[in-house]
């Protein structure tokens, strides 16, 4: 492993006394990530409605970009010829790309994320044409052109994009499939993971680290099989993927069964999860990093993240008339640019006037809020107060 990832390491500084939570640092060629950490989504090459300066100044450690989107527009070759994602985005910190699989399968099954996460009915046209041993054949959401994404192409694409952390291609099984499908899919994903590793070894120059993905859906024995596979392969870290169940409670159980058999010396990422409750649950299970579009998407709908123990809810919507004359910042004591310079009333009126600055300010706040939450969690682990922090947040 030292030869495969000469410029990476993961240190665990402290383990929580009351849970599997741990305080760590991921070292990458573009700097370190103190964990637990939140990864913000620059899906198509930008954090929506924020300049990279805004993102940095809101305390962000690490961002990700989606291979699927970059592959289709502008194309990985173009990003490479422009110097790679870091240069392209103007971001000099740690960065991750996913494999491209999640979007292919979630769009492919008819909606982004909803079906894989088991939540909504299909509403969008299906773009996934077929899954074969070779890879996944899909139609571009932009122009309908057919593309075949193989494990090798995903690795090549992520190599061209040049993030610090790359992820293997897997089949993201939808929620509704049964155990035998999940088991077949797990085996396919494992064969793809080996092909990914093989392609990675050939192409890597020390600038990237590769994550495997835990498969197995909601089935404990399959989660154990996938953990044994991951534990033996020379991945730098792993992501918990596959179906996590239909509810927050089920997800918590699935994460527990996925994490329990995994080796503890590698960083673990939880894909696409971002609610406070799920983050606290995940941290307590040993998850080191999270990503989700929720903070930035919420901002685009007028929502600001707030402290549930003060507000009785996770967010407030500044469109509401109650903020018309409210001279308070979104959140008292928040040090973000929005809270330091503007009132709720200002954001309310700018939302009404359809001035984009409202979305920009909410985006900045929500990014800063998530970074502050993760900071609080790290501080709590450091002082063995994680349980107290969780109790405070949820009034339990």
Give the nearest distance from C-beta 390 to a second copy in angstroms: 34
Give the nearest distance from C-beta 246 to a second copy in angstroms: 32
Quick one: which segment of 48-56, 175-183, 236-244, 369-377 binds a second copy (CB under 8 A)?
A: 48-56
User: Which listed residue (54, 164, 170, 291) is catalytic?
Assistant: 291
Q: Name which of 117, 71, 72, 74 is nearest 293 in CA terms.
A: 117
**Residues linked to residue 37 through DSSP beta bridges, in sequence order:** 289
Record the tokens describing residue 346, joined without a space: 């200002």
Give the nearest distance from C-beta 122 to a second copy in angstroms: 25
Does residue 297 touch a second copy according to CB under 8 A? no
State which of residues 17, 73, 248, 301 lies at the interface with a second copy (CB under 8 A): 73
**Dihedral (CA of 93, 66, 240, 212) sign:** negative
Task: Give the chain's largest Cα–Cα span.
Answer: 61
Give the nearest distance from C-beta 302 to a second copy in angstroms: 15
State which of residues 17, 78, 148, 310 lies at the interface with a second copy (CB under 8 A): 78
Nearer to a second copy, 6 or 90 (CB): 90
Does residue 280 touch a second copy according to CB under 8 A? no
Footprint of a second copy on residues 315-354 (CB under 8 A)? 324-325, 327, 337, 341-343, 345-346, 349-350, 352-353
Count, residues near a second copy per rule CB under 8 A: 42
Catalytic status, residue 98: yes
Binding-site string for a second copy from residue 81 to residue 120, where x marks contact by CB under 8 A and - marks none: xxx---xxxx------------------------------
> SS in 3 state form for 25-58?
EEEECCEEEEECEEEEECCCCCCCCCCHHHHHHC
Give the nearest distance from C-beta 156 to a second copy in angstroms: 20
Does residue 54 touch a second copy according to CB under 8 A? yes
State which of residues 355, 375, 376, 392 lies at the interface with a second copy (CB under 8 A): 355
Q: How far apart are CA 252 and CA 245, in angstroms?
A: 9
**Residues linked to residue 146 through DSSP beta bridges, in sequence order:** 139
Cα within 13 Å of Cα(22), Cβ side:
19
User: Which listed residue (16, 98, 278, 288) is catalytic?
Assistant: 98
* Rg, Å, the chain Cα set: 20
Give the nearest distance from C-beta 74 to a second copy in angstroms: 4
State which of residues 50, 218, 240, 374 lies at the interface with a second copy (CB under 8 A): 50
Distances (CA, A) of 203 to 97, 198, 207, 232: 16, 9, 10, 21
Q: 186 with 143: CB under 8 angstroms?
A: no
DSSP letter for 6, please.
T
Nearer to a second copy, 26 or 63 (CB): 63
State which of residues 17, 148, 310, 356 lies at the interface with a second copy (CB under 8 A): 356
377, containing H or E segment: helix 357-382
Q: Is the peptide bond before 391 cis (omega within 30 degrees of 0)?
A: no
Q: 228 with 261: CB under 8 angstroms?
A: yes
Chain residues in the site for a second copy (CB under 8 A): 44-54, 69, 73-74, 78, 81-83, 87-90, 324-325, 327, 337, 341-343, 345-346, 349-350, 352-353, 355-358, 360-361, 364
Cite the active site residues. Answer: 98, 291
């Amino acid at each position: 492993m030292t030869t495969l990832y000469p410029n990476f390491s993961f240190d665990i500084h402290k383990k929580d006394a009351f849970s599997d939570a741990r305080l760590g640092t991921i070292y990458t060629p573009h700097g370190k990530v103190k964990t637990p950490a939140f990864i913000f989504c620059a899906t198509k090459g930008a954090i929506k409605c924020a300049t990279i300066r805004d993102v940095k100044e809101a305390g962000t450690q690490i961002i990700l970009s989606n291979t699927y989107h970059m592959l289709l527009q502008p194309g990985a070759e173009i990003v490479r010829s422009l110097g790679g994602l870091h240069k392209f985005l103007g971001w000099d910190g740690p960065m991750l790309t996913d494999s491209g699989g999640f979007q292919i399968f979630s769009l492919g099954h008819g909606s982004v994320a909803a079906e894989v996460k088991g939540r909504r009915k299909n509403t969008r046209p299906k773009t996934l044409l077929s899954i074969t041993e070779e890879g996944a054949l899909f139609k571009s959401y932009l122009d309908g052109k057919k593309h075949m994404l193989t494990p090798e192409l995903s690795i090549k694409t992520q190599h061209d994009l040049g993030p610090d952390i790359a992820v293997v291609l897997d089949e993201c099984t939808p929620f509704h499939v049964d155990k035998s499908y999940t088991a077949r899919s797990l085996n396919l994903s494992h064969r793809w993971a080996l092909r990914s590793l093989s392609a990675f070894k050939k192409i890597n120059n020390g600038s990237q680290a590769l994550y495997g993905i835990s498969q197995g859906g909601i089935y404990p024995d399959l989660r154990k099989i996938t953990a044994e596979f991951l534990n033996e392969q020379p991945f730098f870290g792993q992501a918990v993927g596959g179906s996590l169940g239909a509810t927050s409670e089920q997800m918590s159980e699935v994460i527990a069964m996925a994490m329990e058999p995994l080796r503890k010396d590698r960083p673990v990422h939880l894909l696409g999860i971002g609610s406070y409750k799920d983050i606290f649950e995940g941290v307590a299970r040993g998850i080191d990093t999270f990503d989700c579009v929720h903070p930035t998407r919420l901002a685009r709908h007028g929502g600001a993240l707030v402290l549930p123990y003060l507000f009785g809810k996770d967010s407030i919507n500044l469109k509401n008339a109650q903020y018309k004359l409210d001279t308070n910042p979104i959140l008292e004591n928040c040090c973000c640019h929005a809270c330091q310079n503007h009132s709720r009333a200002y954001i309310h009126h700018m939302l009404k006037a359809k001035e984009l600055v409202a979305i920009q300010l909410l985006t900045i706040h929500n990014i800063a809020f998530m970074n502050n939450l993760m900071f609080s969690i790290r501080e709590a682990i450091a002082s063995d107060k994680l349980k107290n922090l969780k109790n405070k947040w949820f009034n339990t």
